[in-house]
Amino acid sequence: MDDALLELRGLSKTFDMGKGERLRAVRDVSLAVRRGESLGIVGESGCGKSTIARMVAQLTEVTGGQILFDGRDVTNLPRGRRRELWRRVQMVFQDPYSVFSPRMTVGDFLTEGLVHFGIASRAKARERLPELLARVELPPELAERLPHQLSGGQQQRVVIARALSIQPDLLILDEATSALDVSVQRQILKLLMRLKAELGLTMLFIGHDLAVVRSVTDRIAVMYAGSLVEQLPSDRLVETAAHPYTRRLLDSVFSTGDRGRKQIAIEDLSLIEKGRQLAGCPYQPRCAIATGICSGTCPSLTAVGENHSIACFARQGEELQ
Amino acid sequence: MDILTIDNYSVSYDGQRSAVDGVSLSVSRGEIVSIVGESGSGKSTLLHGMLGLLPKGAATRGRLALFGREISEMPAGERRALCGSRVSMIFQDTGRYMNPIARIGAQYDEFLRIHGMRDGAARRDLQREMLLKLHLTDPERVLRAYPFELSGGMRQRVGIAMAMSLKPELLLADEPTSALDVTVQAQVIRQMLELRESTGTAIVLVTHNIGVAAYLSDRIGVMQRGRLVELGDSQELIEHPKHPYTRGLLEAVVEIDDERLIANHG
Ligand SMILES: Nc1ncnc2c1ncn2[C@@H]1O[C@H](COP(=O)(O)OP(=O)(O)OP(=O)(O)O)[C@@H](O)[C@H]1O
Ligand SMILES: Nc1ncnc2c1ncn2[C@@H]1O[C@H](COP(=O)(O)OP(=O)(O)OP(=O)(O)O)[C@@H](O)[C@H]1O
Ligand SMILES: [Mg+2]
Ligand SMILES: [Mg+2]
- Give B40 Cα–ligand 2 centroid separation in angstroms: 5
Query: Mean pLDDT over residues B74-98, rounded?
Result: 83
Q: Is the pLDDT of residue A320 over 70?
A: no
Please write the tens of the pLDDT for every residue from A123-179.
999 999 999 999 999 999 999 999 999 998 999 999 999 999 999 999 999 999 888
Within chain A, strands assigned E span 4-18, 21-34, 38-43, 64-69, 72-73, 89-92, 170-174, 202-206, 219-224, 227-233, 302-305, 308-310
Query: pLDDT above 70 covers what percent of chain B?
Result: 98
Angle, vertex CA B151, rays to CA B148 and CA B155, nearest 5: 75
Residues of B in contact with A45 (CB under 8 A): 151-154, 157, 179-181, 184
Q: What local confidence, expressed as pLDDT, does residue B206 receive?
A: 95
Which of B53, B141, B208 best tests the A interface by mutation, with the highest count of A CBs <10 A? Answer: B208
One-letter identity of residue B90: I
Q: Is the pLDDT of residue A318 over 90?
A: no
Chain A closest-CA separation from residue B40 CA (Å): 5
Q: What local confidence, expressed as pLDDT, does residue B265 receive?
A: 46
Which of A66, A3, A1, A65 has the alpha carbon at shortest distance from A36?
A3
Query: Mean pLDDT over residues B192-218, rounded?
Result: 92
Give the SS3 label for residue B116.
coil
Please judge whether A250 and B256 are an interchain contact, meaning their C-beta atoms are less than 8 angstroms apart: yes
**Is A52 within 8 Å of A7 (Cβ atoms)?**
no
Q: What local confidence, expressed as pLDDT, does residue A295 receive?
A: 87
- The residue in chain B having the minimum alpha-carbon distance to the alpha carbon of residue A94 is B152
Q: What local confidence, expressed as pLDDT, does residue A51 receive?
A: 97
Q: What local confidence, expressed as pLDDT, does residue A321 receive?
A: 47
Q: What local confidence, expressed as pLDDT, does residue B184 receive?
A: 81
Q: Picking from A226-240, A267-281, B94-108, B127-141, which range would have the lowest pLDDT averaged per residue?
A: A267-281
- Give A147 Cα–ligand 4 centroid separation in angstroms: 13
Question: Starting from the edge strand earliest in sequence, which strands make up the sheet with A72-73, in order?
Answer: A21-34, A4-18, A64-69, A72-73
DSSP string of B177-223?
A: TTTS-HHHHHHHHHHHHHHHHHH--EEEEE-S-HHHHHHH-SEEEEE
Please write the tens of the pLDDT for every residue from B41-83.
999 999 999 988 899 899 999 999 999 999 888 888 888 888 7
Q: What local confidence, expressed as pLDDT, does residue B81 receive?
A: 81
Chain A closest-CA separation from residue B116 CA (Å): 30
* CA distances, A65 to each of A9, A34, A226, A315, B264 (Å): 6, 19, 14, 28, 31
Q: Is the pLDDT of residue B102 over 90?
A: yes
Q: Helical H runs in B51-97?
A: 76-85
Residue B185 touches chain A, beta carbons under 8 Å:
yes
One-letter identity of residue A153: G
B57 lines ligand 2 (CB under 6 A): no
More confident residue, A179 or B119: B119
| Cβ contacts of A262 within 8 Å, gap of 6 or more | A254, A255, B215
B154 lines ligand 1 (CB under 6 A): yes
Q: What local confidence, expressed as pLDDT, does residue A261 receive?
A: 59
A42 lines ligand 1 (CB under 6 A): no
- Give B42 Cα–ligand 2 centroid separation in angstroms: 6
Chain B closest-CA separation from residue A183 CA (Å): 5
Q: Picking from A111-125, A231-245, A280-294, which range would have the lowest pLDDT averaged per residue?
A: A280-294
Residues of A in contact with B252 (CB under 8 A): 182-183, 185-186
A296 φ/ψ sector (left φ>0, alpha ψ -120 to 50, else beta): alpha
- The residue in chain A having the minimum alpha-carbon distance to the alpha carbon of residue B12 is A149
- Give A176 Cα–ligand 4 centroid separation in angstroms: 15
- CA-CA distance, B36 to B175, in Å (whole number)? 10
Closest atom of ligand 2 to A145 CA is 4
Q: What local confidence, expressed as pLDDT, does residue A257 receive?
A: 66
Q: What local confidence, expressed as pLDDT, does residue A2 receive?
A: 64
Please judge whether B92 and A179 are an interchain contact, meaning their C-beta atoms are less than 8 angstroms apart: yes
Please judge whether A234 and B132 are an interchain contact, meaning their C-beta atoms are less than 8 angstroms apart: no
Q: What local confidence, expressed as pLDDT, does residue A151 receive?
A: 92
Q: What local confidence, expressed as pLDDT, does residue A41 receive?
A: 97
Q: What local confidence, expressed as pLDDT, does residue B264 receive?
A: 53
Chain A closest-CA separation from residue B2 CA (Å): 25
Which of B32, B45, B21 has the alpha carbon at shortest distance from B205?
B32
All structural domains of chain B: 4-265 (3.40.50.300)
Query: Mean pLDDT over residues B194-206, rounded?
Result: 94
Question: What φ, ψ does residue A266 adopt, rounded to 5°?
Answer: -80, 130
Q: Where are the domains of chain A?
A: 4-316
**Is A11 within 8 Å of A67 (Cβ atoms)?**
yes
Q: What local confidence, expressed as pLDDT, does residue A259 receive?
A: 56
Please write the tens of the pLDDT for every residue from A74-102.
999 999 999 999 999 999 988 887 788 88
**Is B208 within 8 Å of B40 (Cβ atoms)?**
no
Query: pLDDT above 90 covers what percent of chain B?
Result: 64
Closest Cβ–Cβ partner in B44, B135, B214 for A259: B214
Q: Picking from A195-204, A209-218, B194-203, B207-216, which range would have the lowest pLDDT averaged per residue?
A: B207-216
Closest atom of ligand 2 to B55 CA is 1
Residue B135 touches chain A, beta carbons under 8 Å:
yes
Q: Is the pLDDT of residue A260 over 80?
A: no
pLDDT-based confidence at residue A26 (cuts at 50, 70, 90): very high
pLDDT-based confidence at residue A1 (cuts at 50, 70, 90): low
pLDDT-based confidence at residue A25 (cuts at 50, 70, 90): very high
- CA-CA distance, A253 to B255, in Å (whole number)? 9
User: In the CATH scheme, what architecture does the domain A4-316 have?
Assistant: 3-Layer(aba) Sandwich (3.40)
**Is A319 within 8 Å of A304 (Cβ atoms)?**
yes
Within chain B, strands assigned E span 2-12, 20-28, 32-37, 59-66, 69-70, 87-90, 170-174, 202-206, 219-224, 227-233
Which residue(s) pair with A222 in the sheet? A42, A230
Q: What local confidence, expressed as pLDDT, does residue A135 receive?
A: 92
Query: pLDDT above 90 covers what percent of chain A?
Result: 69
**Is B36 within 8 Å of B207 (Cβ atoms)?**
yes
Please write the tens of the pLDDT for every residue from A179-202.
888 888 999 999 999 999 999 999
Which residue's CA is the nearest one to ligand 1's atom 19?
A46
Q: What local confidence, expressed as pLDDT, does residue A159 receive?
A: 94
Q: What local confidence, expressed as pLDDT, does residue B189 receive?
A: 86
More confident residue, A308 or B52: A308
DSSP state of A264: P
B77 lines ligand 2 (CB under 6 A): no
Q: Is the pLDDT of residue B266 over 50?
A: no
Please judge whether A267 and B189 are an interchain contact, meaning their C-beta atoms are less than 8 angstroms apart: no
One-letter identity of residue A30: S
Residues of A in contact with B181 (CB under 8 A): 42-45, 208, 249
